[in-house]
Chains A and B, each alone.
Chain A
Amino acid sequence: MDRDLKKEFKEIVKVASPKERIWMFGFLEAIVEEGYTDTPNPDSGKEAPAKKESEAASEAKKAIIQKQNQSSSTGNNQTANAGTKTDSSYISMATLVAPEQNKSNVAVLQKSGSESVKTATIVFGTETGNSKKLASQLQNRLKSQGLKVKVSSTNQYNPKDLDKEELLLTIISTHGDGDPPEAARKFHETLKNRKEALPNLKYSVLALGDTSYPLFCKAGEDVDVFLYRMGATRIQNIAMCDVDFEETANEWMDSVSNLLASGLPSSSTQGYGQSQNSISDAHSSNNGNGIITESSNGLAKSGQSVSSNARKFYSGTITQSIDLTDASASKIIRHIEIETEEDIDYLPGDSAGFIPKNDLKEVSAIIKGLRLSGEDSILWRKENISIQALLEEKASIRYLSKRVMDSLEAITRKKLPNKRLDLIDIVQNFPPHDSIAKETILEILEPITPRYYSISSSPEAHGKNSVHLTVAEVDFQNAQGKNQKGFCSDYLFEMTEGTAIEFRIQKNNNFRLPASDVNAIYIGPGTGIAPFRSFLFERDSLAHSGKNWLFFGNRNFSYDFLYQTELLEFFDSGVLTKFNTAFSRDNSKKVYVQDRIRENGKELVEWLDNGAILYICGSKEPMSIDVDKALVEIFMLEKNLKKAEAEIFLNNLIETERYKKDVY
């Protein structure tokens, strides 16, 4: 390499305006923080190393959490124009000296003039429909600016098109343990494994996630990294949104929109921020982190966006908790009703999320085993909290993740089994040496992640101050072979009527009622019945003319036919047009919902051909797999298709949102 980078860099800095300098600092910081190399990892296809949340993500997270702490203390979720100073995004100069720089990016910088982009593709990877909604909004904005904009879902997008793209804007959410949504899995994988460069591509990523989870916005970050590695040009840093995504998302969209309006990336363009929430802070003037954006006008717009309340915890009381199963049932399933003072913002198809508390006995045993005191304070995730409170309410102590297990192994300097143990197992069987500060063990614990349950009540029928849940008891054997109950289900089961409880709503825009005159087919065995109970009550209240066909299954007709009397009433009154059931343990021959699907193949296909929407809710494996197999079979039979063709037909139903899934 004969280029004298330092010299070149200094030249650029000399001619750059203050704003441009600020932009450069931010840009370089991003490269450094994200630790990217400029060549794709040849081992990417193999067993993935333990996922680690990037520092960028954790910084972003911390900033978001801190902001929330501040705004909750000021009683205002939005800090737009608040002028609050925060140094959460302060970037020290020292970190700006990058060991490696992406040369093509620098080259772009040098070449930049008013480069205008004429076409763009927005790709969205959504689980609950939020990414899709945002993609649509963005499309409208960019179109009104005169761009030709295509929108595509990640599972419809043809990766070959990447080579032809001018600008790729990716909006993608993260689920579970840092994973992309099901519909984006292939897209994510393709980008990961792709070896060919994309030197002509410009891009930016908007990531949606939940700070409750350890790997906040990982999927979005991955996409950002993958594209970067392929040599594409990042025109805007990744924006990471918590569940209250509107504000941050709007800021990112504003930035992108403004960038494209005034040409990319020119000296007169706006700056960027690493953690996007800091942009809102930059309404005020320089606030130390040196990030100013001229998109304050755009921000004013975003300031008008309504908080989605996704972070909001409702306070409720358990007003009913009954065992829906009769005496001899082999598995208890409870119907739980929670009432609130305030109105709950939810629709049929949404879920309610709970953060269970840990078992007090277990917590005591851990504290005792570590020879600590519950009253002592500990700094955990920038928060001072008593050890008792931490272990009781905040930290996950069961089925510890691999990350935590690895950290524990390092801390305790003991070889731990390659299993996900409970903390109590570690404390009792692999106790750390006395020389090790026990607090360190607690510090690395991750937060309790919320558990979600499909809501089985309908706002129209049951009112806005009520949510109903359908919760099954869960029994399993943990890694040590000990019998355990499901964490959240046990927590809910223990609650008696009159107990207070908090919950939040997770919206699922991908699992909504059809239009009032559209027919619907529901496949909901076991607790999968929950959203369909909601649907039926809602459709009944709203007097939808669309017909309903329900497939329900469970173990014994006489003992666990959930909500039987309500469903029979719907059937008698005509709300339920067709009602098929399958009970697997009644006869020597096991019958499941997929068997009923096969028996009714002709009519089912007729309904679909006449525009019915198909829904499935319940266990992912094996149920939804078996159901899909049965659907393929009936398509083959009724439409005279080969297996591959029938599978394509099924996928097409999914892609065109005629087959909606809520499986877990």
Chain B
Amino acid sequence: MPEEIKESAAEKAKRLSQGLRGSLRESLLDEHTGSLREQDQLLIKFHGIYQQDDRDRRAEREEKKLDKHYTFMIRLRIPGGSIGPVHYERSQKIAGDYGTGTLKITTRQTLQVHGIIKSNLKPTIKSFNEVFLDSIAACGDVNRNVVATANPTNTIHHTEINQLANEISKQLLPKTRAYYEIWLDQEKIAEKSEEDPLYKELYLPRKFKIAIAVPPWNDVDVYANDIGLIAVEEAGKIIGYNVLAGGGLGTTHGNEKTYPRIGSMLGYVSKEDVLKFVYEIVTTQRDNGNREDRKLSRLKYTIDRMGLGNFKAEVEKRVGKSFQTEKNFQFNTRSDSYGWAQDSKGLWHFTLFVENGLIVDNDTSKIKTALMEVAQTRRAIFRFTCNQNVILSDILPKDLNLIQSILEKYKLDKIHETTSNIRKNSMACVALSTCPLALAEGQRYLPLFLDKLENLMEECAVKEEAITIRMTGCPNGCARPYMAEIGLVGTSYGHYNLHLGADFQGKRLNQKYKENLDEAGILQELKGIFNQFKIDRNSNESFGDFCLRKELVKA
């Protein structure tokens, strides 16, 4: 008797979607609701769009006999995180015309726009398309935005890995023309849905994330990705990559079967082979990943289920080559280097701190206005980092003063000097009011929490410490809280689990220290530990290492 394969709802939706088309066209034409039909809400993720609603207004709107305030968030596909000034200006304009007005730099080096109502989705995508920006596969069960170390001073490597990021992205892009038909009103070319040899009918079991790091910078958090490529240099050139596989952070509260995992080292591959290895790791996951239980679908579970050795063997079989022994490497930091820096070609780059990646104007700094002015000069490239900052790049020496004057005008040129180290190493996910999964606050609250934490650190005389701290509204881990020295993972409104013990460079996960703490509770705990840290730390020992050494948590 053949074993009945349970098909999850998501798998069914994908299978029946006719190349990710579903009933999107009809959903868009439904005039009575701002929502998409249910199956299309899943499919639209593959188009880089999430359906959201303003959770803050739910109760009041219901009283007013109004449906939820449905809006959409669109995430662009920007492999390696670089766009030109024209693209930036257009993106900002679209955010203003159709969205909330705010561009958000994500933790994967791309841009997000929130607050688009259904009837404005097509105009939005059409407008992006005019500057050759798209959102294909920015979400969904596909390969997501490929990130690469943003530090541009290492120019030669930077160019090369950016190119690699683009190649990987292209290679792993879905072949369906649904995006062009639905959003851009392009003609259906063939009657039958197009063939997709990589994704076939069902795409991947889950999301897939690829990062490229150039040591000693681990700004991309390479260990947290499904595939991590660590560039290997010889005589000033990149010769190949150490390949990590199986990193992934999402967990579910109370489900012991779920856990965060850092990537396992598979070995070294030459740069000529890297694309092929990447491809076959993806196909191996495609064919072996758990499609019944989405909570156990990520590559990390596939590897642990198969066993690392077997997994590696399978990949090698598909490629027709073996992994070589990994080569040495060292990571020093995950932080961005703020301020001005010049690269080997003589071009200038300015790394600007943007708290939580939110490009807004407020009383103290006018980042939105400043960046628009910079874009309008056409004299800089915009590189986004995995720390949600922006680097104004490739500035000719003769234009240095021009850009500097804009930064000065808006008091941004020295903002990193007046911002505390802990804040510069902080990250939060979006959470409320638009993320449907959020249990607690994220980006709206972390800056306020940090105000209090900075005071506390001053009290404990550890004010200048660079400690990575990350906050998420739920255990999915979109802002990589499990790799932060202080991780705050939301459990219910106003309450977080406190995680400690990760390292500064991003090679080690943290562990849960205490559960369900409110703000006072968190501050209380940290106060005690900071005081200990001040007294007991070894020289140059990081806070995370200290916590581990002191067995506040076990590795």
Contacts and interface: CB of A to CB of B under 8 A. Distances in A.
Given A324-B65, A580-B32, 12 more contacts: A324-B66, A326-B60, A326-B61, A326-B64, A557-B117, A558-B34, A564-B65, A565-B65, A571-B32, A579-B32, A580-B31, A581-B32
B57 interface: yes
Interface in B47-97: 57, 60-67, 69, 71
Contacts of B129: none
Given A324-B66, A326-B66, A568-B67, A558 B32 contact: no
Interface of A: 322-327, 335, 557-558, 561-568, 571, 579-583, 586-587, 596
Nearest to A324: B64
Which of B62, B66, B67, B120 counts the most chain A CB atoms within 10 A? B66
A562 B64 CA distance: 8
22 contacts: A322-B63, A322-B64, A324-B64, A325-B64, A326-B61, A326-B66, A326-B69, A557-B34, A561-B66, A561-B67, A564-B65, A564-B66, A564-B67, A565-B62, A565-B65, A566-B65, A568-B32, A568-B67, A571-B32, A580-B32, A581-B32, A587-B120
Contacts of A558: 34, 69, 71, 117
B163 interface: no
Interface of B: 31-34, 57, 60-67, 69, 71, 117, 119-120, 123
A568 B119 CA distance: 18
A596 B32 CA distance: 12
A580 to B, nearest CB: 5
A586 B98 CA distance: 10
Nearest to A563: B65
Nearest to A591: B119
A335 B65 contact: yes
Nearest to A576: B32
Contact of B119 (A327, A557, A580): A557
A568 B30 CA distance: 11
Nearest to A325: B64
The 8 closest A-B pairs by CB, nearest first: A579-B32, A581-B31, A564-B67, A565-B65, A563-B65, A564-B66, A580-B31, A324-B64
B67 A565 contact: yes
B32 A323 contact: no
Given A558-B69, A568-B67, A586-B119, A326 B57 contact: yes
A566 B69 CA distance: 15
A307 B71 CA distance: 55
B50 to A, nearest CB: 17
A586 B33 contact: no
Nearest to B98: A587
Nearest to B66: A564
Which of A322, A558, A561, A586 counts the most chain B CB atoms within 10 A? A558
Contacts of B31: 579-582, 596
Which of A564, A571, A586 counts the most chain B CB atoms within 10 A? A564
A247 B67 CA distance: 49
Contacts of A587: 119-120, 123
Contacts of B119: 557, 583, 586-587
A606 to B, nearest CB: 19
Nearest to B64: A324
A325 B66 CA distance: 8
Contacts of B71: 558
Nearest to B33: A568
Contacts of A583: 119
A594 to B, nearest CB: 14
A563 B60 CA distance: 14
B115 to A, nearest CB: 10
Nearest to B118: A557
Contacts of A322: 63-64
A323 B64 CA distance: 7
B376 to A, nearest CB: 23
A562 B61 CA distance: 11
Contact of A586 (B32, B62, B120): B120
Given A557-B117, A586-B119, A565 B66 contact: yes
Contacts of A579: 31-32
Contacts of B57: 326-327
Nearest to A553: B31
Contacts of B60: 326
B123 to A, nearest CB: 7
A558 B61 CA distance: 10
A586 B67 CA distance: 17
A397 B120 CA distance: 48
Contacts of A323: 64
B64 A567 contact: no
A571 B33 CA distance: 10
A101 to B, nearest CB: 65
A585 B219 CA distance: 44
A322 B63 CA distance: 8
Contacts of A566: 65
Contacts of B34: 557-558
Contacts of A327: 57
Nearest to B120: A587
A562 B62 CA distance: 12
A573 B34 CA distance: 18
Contacts of A580: 31-32
Contacts of A562: 65
A579 B117 CA distance: 19
A326 B62 CA distance: 10
Contacts of B32: 567-568, 571, 579-581
B96 to A, nearest CB: 13
Contacts of A582: 31
Contacts of B64: 322-326
Nearest to B34: A557
A561 B67 CA distance: 9
Nearest to B69: A558
A323 B32 CA distance: 20
A552 B120 CA distance: 19
Contacts of B69: 326, 558
A312 to B, nearest CB: 31
A558 to B, nearest CB: 6
Contacts of B65: 324, 335, 562-566
A221 B65 CA distance: 47
A583 B120 CA distance: 12
A345 to B, nearest CB: 27
A323 B62 CA distance: 12
Nearest to B60: A326
A391 B20 CA distance: 69
A565 B123 CA distance: 27
Nearest to A582: B31
A48 to B, nearest CB: 45
A587 B119 CA distance: 8
A565 B35 CA distance: 13
A564 B33 CA distance: 8
Contacts of A581: 31-32
Contacts of B120: 586-587
B59 to A, nearest CB: 12
Nearest to B31: A581
A452 B33 CA distance: 31
Nearest to A581: B31
Nearest to A551: B31
Nearest to B32: A579
B291 to A, nearest CB: 31
A561 B66 CA distance: 7
A395 to B, nearest CB: 37
A562 B34 CA distance: 14
Which of A326, A563, A583 counts the most chain B CB atoms within 10 A? A326
A565 to B, nearest CB: 5
Given A326-B66, A579-B31, A586 B117 contact: yes
B81 to A, nearest CB: 31
Contacts of A561: 66-67
A96 to B, nearest CB: 64
Nearest to A579: B32
A279 B119 CA distance: 66
